[in-house]
Amino acid sequence: MDKNRVSALRTPQFPGAVLFDAYGTLFDVYSVGLLAEQLFPGQGQALGLLWRDKQIEYTRLVTTSRRGPARESVYQPFWELTRAGLRYACKRLGLTLSSEHEQQLMNQYRHLSAFPENREVLQQLKSRGIATGILSNGDPEMLGIAVRSAGLDGLLDHVISVDSIRQYKTHPDAYALGTRALGLPASQVVFVSCNSWDALGATWFGYQTLWVNRYNLPFEELGTQPLRTGPNLREVLAFFTP
Enzyme catalytic residues:
21
Question: Rounded distance, CA 140 to CA 136, Å?
Answer: 9
How remote is the C-alpha of 200 from its chain's centroid?
Answer: 12
Question: Rounded distance, CA 36 to CA 27, Å?
Answer: 17
Question: Rounded distance, CA 125 to CA 192, Å?
Answer: 13
Across the strands, what pairs with 70?
none
Question: Rounded distance, CA 209 to CA 199, Å?
Answer: 6
Which has the closest alpha carbon to 206: 9, 3, 11, 50?
11
* CB contact at 8 A, 115 and 146: no
Which has the closest alpha carbon to 132: 161, 157, 115?
157
